[in-house]
């Protein structure tokens, strides 16, 4: 049985990615800040193969606690860095503190978690960083998303850097730049907007990607959207 880790697992894409991996008979360590929503996920999953960890990935003590828990499961086959946050606010109105919060949630949390877990990845394991079309170079950009898109762009470049640095260890790293998906986070940032893709659909794609795509890709930044980048 392979072990996968999914962050931001309490709702949306992370929630359904966890369920998809479990249905494929994998063990999943599901991480999120909301204890109640993780309990709901446990009930829906209805399997001993799910391990939930309530944690804030911007907290160093929580990162250390995750590492100690994961160490007891043996080697990790894959990590889906899905956790993040979005602020829809104009560039002029976005404060320094808000910029730092967005980078903490979307970039530095992934940096710290990967660094902590590196000793526990097995050979030919796969790290998938979940970015956004806003962080994909050459794509259409939207007002209000400067901090979010910049952080997601940095996550994409981190992917390229790590793929080269971790290659000697046979650890593969790729980045998926997602288009609009009808999640709670999207609804909070853009009330009333209807995305063309459901989180269950995107989760199926990510489940298959983290499980198999490292046989074909490494260090790639891949747009996953219905519309071509402009």
Q: Annotated catalytic residue: which of 15, 148, 193, 205?
A: 148
Given a contact cutoff of 8 angstroms between Cβ atoms, the answer to whether 66 and 43 are in contact is no
Can you name the residues that pair with 31 across neighbouring β-strands?
7, 53
Is residue 94 helix, strand or coil? coil
**Residue 148 annotated among the catalytic residues of the structure:** yes
> What is the chain's alpha carbon radius of gyration, rounded to the nearest angstrom?
16
Strand, coil or helix: what is 30? strand
Strand order in the sheet with 3-7: 50-54, 27-32, 3-7, 76-81, 121-132, 171-178, 221-224
CA–CA distances in Å: residue 102 to residues 85, 152, 175, 210, 213: 6, 9, 18, 25, 28
Residues in the chain: 230
SS3 content of the chain, % helix, strand, coil (to 5): 45, 20, 30
Per DSSP, helices labelled H in the chain are 12-23, 35-45, 60-71, 96-103, 109-117, 146-165, 184-189, 199-212
Indicate which residues carry an active-site annotation: 148
């Amino acid at each position: 049985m392979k072990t996968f880790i999914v962050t931001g697992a309490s709702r949306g894409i992370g929630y359904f990615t966890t369920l998809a991996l479990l249905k494929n008979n994998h063990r999943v360590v599901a991480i999120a800040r909301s204890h109640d929503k993780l309990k709901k996920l446990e009930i829906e999953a209805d399997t001993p193969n799910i391990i939930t960890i309530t944690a804030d990935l911007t907290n160093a003590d929580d990162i250390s606690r995750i590492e100690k828990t994961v160490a007891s499961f043996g080697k990790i086959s894959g990590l889906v860095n899905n956790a993040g946050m979005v602020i829809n606010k104009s560039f002029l109105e976005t404060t320094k503190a808000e910029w730092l919060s967005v980078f903490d949630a979307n970039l530095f949390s992934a940096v710290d978690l990967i660094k902590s877990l590196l000793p526990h990845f097995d050979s030919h394991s796969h790290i998938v960083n979940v970015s956004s079309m806003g962080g994909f170079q050459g794509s259409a950009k939207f007002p209000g998303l400067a901090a979010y898109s910049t952080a997601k762009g940095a996550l994409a470049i981190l992917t390229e850097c790590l793929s080269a640095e971790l290659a000697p260890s046979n650890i593969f790293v790729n980045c998926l730049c997602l288009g609009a998906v009808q999640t709670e986070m999207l609804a909070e940032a853009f009330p009333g907007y209807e995305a063309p893709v459901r989180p269950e659909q995107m989760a199926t794609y990510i489940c298959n990607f983290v499980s198999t795509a490292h046989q074909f890709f490494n260090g790639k930044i891949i747009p996953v959207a219905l519309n071509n980048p402009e």
